[in-house]
Amino acid sequence: MASLLSVNVGMPKDVAWHGKTVHTGIWKTPVGGPRMVRRLNLDGDGQGDLAGHGGEMRAVLVYQAESIAYWREYLGREESDDFGYGVFGENFTVDGLADDEVCIGDRYRIGEAEFEVTQPRVTCYRVGLRIGEPALPSLLVQHHRPGFYLRVITEGHVRAGDRIERTRRGPHALTVADVDALLYLPGRDRGRLEAAVDIPALSPGWRQSFLDLLEGDLEGGGSAGGDGSARGGGEAGGDGAGGAGTAVAPAIGTEPGWSGFRPLRVEAVVPESSTIASVYLAAPDGAELPPARAGQYLTLRIPEAGDPPPIRSYSLSSAPGGRAYRISVKREGVVSSYVHTKLRPGTRLRAGGPAVGGCRRDAGAGDAAPARGRAERTRRVVAAFRAQFRPAGVRAGGAPVARGAAVLT
C-alpha cells in the first residue's frame, strides 16, 4: 500500500535568478508531527505565484520518492546533499502513487483528510531554478513524471507514515501522465480529449484548454487519423494538417488557461515574396512576451477572417529575445489570403501560448470532408461540456450574470 513519507512546507521568499528577483515558494522543508491540511493549503505553507500554484484545485502538490531517486541518478546528483524530500517543491513525498497509475478524479484518504486528484503539476521554470537544471520542466513532461495536485475534500491532520488508501477511482481511467502528455505533447487522440473534458474533477483551466483543442480542431479543419493518432505536423505552408488538438496547446511550463488565448496586436505585415508574408505581433500594452524558442508555433484566432473566427497555427520565426513574435504565412487558402490582403497594423488577434509540435496550415475542403462525421460528434461533445461546465458568472452565449457559486463541487 502507498504511504506518506514526508510532509513538506515552506513560505515564499525572494530568490536571485538570471539577474532578476523571483518570489517563489518552491523551497519546502520536511516537518515532523501532525500537520493540518485545510481547503486551500497546509498550515505553514505558501506559494509565491498564485496564478500557477495554490488555490482550491491545487491545494497540495504530490511527488514520488521513486521519481526523486530517478532524477537523482539521471542528473548525476547521487552525491548531492540537497536532493531529498521536498526538493521538487512537493508538499507530500509519497511511496507509490506513480504518475502512470494515479488517475484524474481518484480520491485518497491520508490520515484524517481525504483528497481528490485534479491535474498534473505544471512544470514551470521554478522547479529548474530550485534544482539548478533549466531543462527540467521539459524533462518532467518528456519522461512522464510531472507529479500532481490534490483538492482537499475533507480537512484534517496528516503526518509522515500515514497510509494512503484509494477511496474512489476517477472516470475514464486517464492517468496523470496521460493527461499531461495529452496537453503538452504531439499526437493527441480526439477520443481522449473528449474523455478528459468529461472528468468533473479536472481543474477548470485544463478543461478549458482541452475544449479549446477540440474546438480548434473543428474550426481549423484538422482531423485525427483512424487510429486516433495525429497526422502531419508540417511547417506553416507545408503539407501536413495537424491532428486533433494541435491548435491551442500551451508551451510546456505554461499553466493551462492563459485562458486559451490572449490578445496580441499586429505591429507589421511585411511581404517577403509573392507568396510569403511575415506578421509581427506584440502585446497590446507593450508587456514582455515569453521568449520564442526554436521549434515553437503560435496559434491565432482571427476574428475578421470568418464566422466563427478560424483558428490557425504558424511556426514562430522570431529571433531569440525579440520583443515581438514573427510568423511567416504562405498564401494558399482563405485564411492566409486574408492575412496577405486585409490584415493591417493595429489589428488585434487572439493567440494561444507558444507551443512545441506540428503546425496546421490552411485546410481546404478536401481536408475537412472525410472528417465530417467525427467533427459533428466532437461539436456536440464540446457544446455539451461548455454548457455543463460554464464558468460562474456567464450565461449561454457569454452574457454575464451576477457572481455566484463555484463551477464544480
- Look at 142-146, 285-289, 367-371, 388-392 and tell me which has the smallest mean pLDDT: 367-371
pLDDT of res. 335: 84
Distance CA 87, CA 177 (A): 20
Q: Per residue in 372-401, pLDDT tens?
A: 555 555 565 566 555 554 444 433 333 333
% pLDDT > 70, the chain: 71
Cell triple for residue 147?
507529479
Instruction: Please state whether the peptide bond connecting residue 370 to the residue before it is cis, i.e. omega within 30 degrees of 0.
Output: no
**pLDDT of 243 strictly over 50:** no
Please tell me the predicted confidence (pLDDT) of residue 178.
Answer: 94
Asked if residue 227 has pLDDT above 70, the reply is: no
Dig out the grid coordinates for 336 from the structure.
Answer: 492566409
More confidently predicted of 222 and 11: 11
Highest mean pLDDT among 184-188, 190-194, 303-307: 190-194
pLDDT at res. 378: 58
* pTM confidence score: 0.61
Which percentage of the chain shows pLDDT scores above 90?
36
Q: Which residues does residue 10 pair with via DSSP β-bridges, in sequence order? A: none
- Torsion 138-141-143-148 (CA) sign: positive
Work out the pLDDT band at 3, boundaries 50, 70, 90.
very high
Helix ranges (DSSP H) in 132-252: 136-142, 176-184, 190-197, 204-220
Q: State yes or no: pLDDT of 168 exceeds 80.
A: yes
- Per-residue confidence (pLDDT) for residue 262, from 0 to 100: 78
pLDDT digits (tens, 9 = 90+) for 82-118: 888 999 999 999 999 999 999 999 999 999 999 999 9
Distance CA 337, CA 322 (A): 26
